[in-house]
Amino acid sequence: MISDLRRSAVPFLLAAVMAATLPAVACRGSHPSGTDATAAAQSNTQSSAQRPEPRPEDFDPTPATPAAIKLSGEKAFATLKEFVQLGPRYLGSPGHAKAEQYILSHLEGAQIEQDQFNVVTAAGPFAMNNIIAKFPGKKDGIIVLAGHYDTNLPLKDTTFIGANDGGSDVGLLLEIANHLRQHPPEGYSIWLVFTDGEEATITWTDADSVYGAKHLAHRWQQDGTASRVKAFLLLDMIGDKDLHFEHEAYSTPWLYEVVRRAGSRLHLDAHFNDRYAPIQDDHLPFRDVGIPVVDLIDLDYGFDNLYHHTTQDTPDKCSAQSLQITADVVAETLRALNTR
């Protein structure tokens, strides 16, 4: 993913400070013509017009609401570590093929769909594969939990393994699969989506990024799935030892509030930094086809995001505790979404 703040001419720290103090105005100031936070908010309003806008408080659980599912941050972290031992997972690499097999072998008991396709990227043609694990529920509608598993092609000649970037989300999604295998959803169906080709193959642009998400969102628009998806939660960079979620600005406002209120009920406010940050990521193509989306992301990984997209993105920079925090927020959000 890429932060629109980072692409600005304003130094990142200054932008971050300004965003923290004067969210929309500061972002507008640093992006006179680009896709800034204000534009994100405006287009959020436009896209939300396609569906009636629920009120976040309508999702607050009542005493009658069933308890949240219990997920293990320890198990998610163990899976993260095992997964990244497969090595770099850039497009076309042996590690990428191993990663696909690893994910598939850990999804036994789920209905599996592989969205396999070929695409000519900025760096040439590649085969890609979005892996979807479906756990049918009892209510009509789908909640999607998603994350990417590829690593960066431009870093192919390094030891980059993306422990947080691509590893943390896979670890947690597979832990959720473990749970759902034994405890099928009582409410909406839950689909776990492991996207491919999230990373840029040369340099991040609208065209050279989120290849898998674009392919799947288009398919879901064509086959009618998009209208059945109640919520799409993207998990990205959620393993950082020092975990602070952004208020990601392209996220659908009511759905972000549902997540944020879930965090407050769990007394996890300290892990939401409330920085209004527009970040381009896998959620955008799904948002573009009218699906309510949230990008649950911490894009401050190491001082000034130092570990991001470097060989320092290793498991020792992540923790089971951070994965537990994310897992609890996801579980409480699922609980909330199922109140309606």
Question: Least distance to Zn ion from the beta carbon of 309, Å?
Answer: 6
Residue ranges in 158-177 that form contacts with Zn ion under rule CB under 5 A: 165
Give Cα 340 distance to the centre of its chain: 23
Give, in order, the Cα–Cα distances in Å from 232 to each of 9, 111, 145, 340: 32, 19, 6, 16
> Among 242, 223, 211, which Cα is nearest to 92's?
211
- As a 3-state breakdown, the chain gives helix, strand, coil percent values, each rounded to 5, of 40, 20, 35
User: Cβ-closest residue to Zn ion?
Assistant: 165
Q: How far is the CB of 3 from Zn ion (least distance, A)?
A: 11
- Between 165 and 246, name the residue whose CB sits nearer to Zn ion: 165
Reading the block at residue 284, the tokens are 């955008």
**Looking at beta carbons only, is 252 or 305 nearer to Zn ion?**
305
Closer CB to Zn ion, 165 or 282, in the complex? 165
Is the Cβ of residue 135 or residue 307 nearer to Zn ion in the bound state? 307
313 makes contact with Zn ion (CB under 5 A): no
Tell me the sheet residues that pair with 111.
134
Distance (Å, whole) CA 89 – CA 217: 23
Amino acid, single-letter form, for residue 245 = F
State how far the Cα of 321 lies from the Cα of 72, in Å rounded to an integer. 9
Least gap, CB of 308 to Zn ion (angstroms): 7
CB of 40 to Zn ion, least distance (A): 20
Mark 107-146 with x for binding to Zn ion (rule: CB under 5 A) and - for no binding: ----------------------------------------
Question: Cβ of residue 131: shortest distance to Zn ion, in angstroms?
Answer: 18
Of the pair 156, 219, the CB lying nearest Zn ion is at 156
Collapsing DSSP to helix, strand or coil, 132 comes out as strand
CA 337 to chain centre: 17
User: By CB under 5 A, which span of 9-17, 157-165, 243-251, 283-291 interacts with Zn ion?
Assistant: 157-165
Question: In the complex, which residues of this chain contact Zn ion (CB under 5 A)?
Answer: 165
